[in-house]
Amino acid sequence: MLEELGENLLRACPAGGALLTAADADSYAAWYMRFVRGLRPDLLVIPLAVWRRDSLFRVRAAADLRLGRRARAEGWLGALVERRPVCVSMALDRPPDAQGATWRTRPLVWVAGPQVTDDPVPPRDFVFAALKVAVDNHDPWAQPVLELYGRAARATARLCEAFSTFGVSGAIEACRH
């Protein structure tokens, strides 16, 4: 289920972007699929908790991204949005404040930055088969994944059709009719 989550999050982001993750489930899932499975090598995955807590990571990442002095202050996200598309996992309640960022809703993520006018992956193209197995087996990781998908369904109601296809719409409050 976490592999499926990671793949879905990576697929939701535009080419050459950065994906900001919020919690253990989305961070581990996206990192695993990106670095172990080699999916979407064009994306940078940044767990927000690591950025905020780990000063060495922050300094190195800011230098690699060429964010300049703005990276030292709270302006790092605005500087990143100026340089590349940025996706924010819906594991967060809302996208973080970033100077100059206009966040758009896509299935599973919010996105801002250059080149975000391209068509997103249609909601029906996401896969939730492993989520169905996890829900049926009462997997403890299912709860944080359901919360993320629930927030995504509230923002993009068309996801409910895909959840229904895989028989998990009843587990997602936003999709219950």
Burial of 119 (0-12, 13-18, 19+ CB in 10 A): exposed
CA dihedral 114, 117, 123, 124 (to 10 degrees): -130
Quick check: 128 and 162 in contact, CB under 8 A? yes
Q: What is the pLDDT of residues 110-165, one digit of tens each?
A: 999 887 766 678 888 999 999 999 999 999 999 999 999 999 999 999 999 999 99
What CA–CA distances, in Å, run from 96 to 64, 75, 112, 125, 133?
Answer: 22, 11, 11, 27, 32
Domain spans in the chain, listed from the N-terminal domain onward: 2-119, 124-175
pTM of the model: 0.90
Q: Confidence band (pLDDT; 50, 70, 90) for 166?
A: very high
Q: What is the pLDDT of residues 30-43, one digit of tens each?
A: 999 999 999 999 99
